[in-house]
Amino acid sequence: MNNTLKTIGIALASSIVTIGGYRMLGFEGKDVIFNEASSPTSINRLANFPGGGAVPGDFTYAAELSTPSVVHIKAKSSRMVRQQRSIFDDFFGDDSPFGMPRGGNQQQESSGSGVIISNDGYIATNNHVVEGADELEVVTSDHRSYKAKVLGTDPSTDIAVIKIEGSNFPAMAFANSDNVKVGEWVLAVGNPFNLESTVTAGIVSAKGRNIGILAQKQQQMYRRYGDDRQQRTSDAIESFIQTDAAVNPGNSGGALVNLKGELIGINTAIASPNGAYAGYAFAVPSSIVKKVTADIVKFGNVQRGYLGINLVELDSKRAEEVGSKVSEGIYVADVIDNGAAKAAGIQKGDVIVKVDGVDTKSGPRLQEMIGRKRPGESAIVTVSRDGKLRDFDVTLRNRDGGKDFLKKEVASANSTFEKLGIDLGELSSVDKQKIGVSSGVVVKKIYDGDIADYTQMREGFVVLKVGEKKINNINDFKAAIKEAKENGDEGVMICGTYQSASRTTCYGLSLE
């Protein structure tokens, strides 16, 4: 990765980042009624002047039409914070008395933007705007305030859906982001630095831009699952619209619109060395936003189709490395045994050049085209094989290789455990005898998460009890944490020992 991309960061909603996990609601089972653009996206608002020059036209129409549909989102959260180390830490060692962290709950606030996508109060925003929020307030452009609830999120695209109660809200019309042209004038609408209803102008600088930031966040999340998931390929979809319209913290989740005031993207990230706008911003295309939000409302989670290949994006150098006679497209480095591509007849060595008749010669573009579809839906994949183009009718599958939709309960069943950020291991009878215990599980690895945030637990800790529950295996541990959470407990004691210690140590863990 070059030096420019090293400076790219998520355009966080404010200088204070929300902490913790979001609250998920039940299955909605309905469709979103979107406002669709009635004509192609592009619109020419350039006034020609003598000498052949041109200047941008009047932006007021797009600003007036789109601003009422963009809301200000205020997020509140609380987390337990440890105090700074003191001389007493050196006296007591790493563990404070009774294993409790020193500090207390601290209220935090952040803000961002959102776009009303249906007249009955569904709002699209970024996952990182609402992530960790205990309470959400939505303020509309006419300064009415509403309490909002999170319906679901998709970290793979950094899109979330929240809901406010009411009717006749000014929903923004969706444009087809496929029709967006590089060089086209666009407006970014949002609430940067808590400045409500701010509009900035720029052009589309590039399309299908992959900056690697969502994949990086997802790999950090995967590490919390343990070694069996660390090597999983990221399914983050990054095919951003790049713009030079000014986007700053607080614009996250706001609208990128064309000169007809139609949604072409959700502003998500900025390229910056210091967290503020430095010339380029990135938006999730409206085609992805529409698919993700519709799935979240209807199913509770995103139903994403998978092709089932390992790919290499070709250029002349990579084509030579893999022995491909084609120097542009997506080289199929391997096909997954139970994947959709193999079942359709696509082979290792094929080069994908189109999906559904649309040129698909970059990795981000392929991810976007396939990511718009659900398991069981078909895609016509055009490949180059032995110098000839061939079409394959591919029935996409889910990540597990099936054609069924993944239930929300399956997708989120382990979310509480995942938030802890630990990898547990079973103890053999030899291990138990060596340590001097009859039960327990060992903490093999500690990643970023609640354990690291709220306790001073170290790797190698042997968990014997969670609350009053004796822990014999990993399933016991998960069940005890889940039970405490479902009972509404604010926290739980995790007690155990270290192999080199003869005493029991307990850690207090907040579950809020």
- Residue 286 CA to residue 158 CA, distance in Å, equals 13
Nearest Cα residue to 289 out of 305, 307, 268, 306: 268
- Residue 66 CA to residue 197 CA, distance in Å, equals 10
Distances (CA, A) of 413 to 156, 296, 361, 407, 449: 18, 16, 37, 10, 17
- Residue 267 CA to residue 258 CA, distance in Å, equals 13
Contact 435, 443 (CB under 8 A): no
Q: Are strands 103-116 and 280-285 parallel, antiparallel or unpaired?
A: unpaired
For the chain, count helices (H), then strands (E). Answer: 15, 29
Contact 13, 75 (CB under 8 A): yes
Contact 292, 302 (CB under 8 A): yes
Task: Please give the single-letter amino acid code of residue 170.
Answer: P
Dihedral pair phi/psi, residue 331, rounded to 5°: -80, 130
Task: Catalytic residue, from 95, 134, 154, 158: name it.
Answer: 158
For the chain, the distance separating the N- and C-terminal CA atoms, rounded to the nearest angstrom, is 38
Tokens standing for 377? 């839906």
List, in sequence order, every beta strand (DSSP E) within 372-489.
Answer: 378-385, 388-395, 422-426, 441-446, 462-466, 469-470
**Residue 128 annotated to the active site:** yes
- Residue 155 CA to residue 131 CA, distance in Å, equals 10
Residues written for the chain: 512
Q: Which residues are CB-neighbours of 47 under 8 A, at least 6 positions away?
A: 54, 55, 57
Taking the mean position of all CA atoms in its chain, how far away is CA 282?
Answer: 14
Q: Are strands 173-174 and 35-36 parallel, antiparallel or unpaired?
A: parallel
Nearest Cα residue to 270 out of 112, 162, 150: 112
**Residue 158 annotated to the active site:** yes
Tokens standing for 210? 């992959």
Task: Please give the single-letter amino acid code of residue 143.
Answer: H
Annotated binding site for substrate: 128, 158, 250-252
Task: Catalytic residue, from 252, 286, 287, 384: name it.
Answer: 252
Nearest Cα residue to 303 out of 76, 27, 9: 27
Other Cβ atoms closer than 10 A to 276:
14
- Residue 468 CA to residue 141 CA, distance in Å, equals 51
Task: Catalytic residue, from 78, 118, 128, 156: name it.
Answer: 128
Tokens standing for 149? 């609830």
- Residue 116: exposure state from Cβ atoms within 10 A (0-12, 13-18, ≥19): buried
Give me the active site residues, please: 128, 158, 252
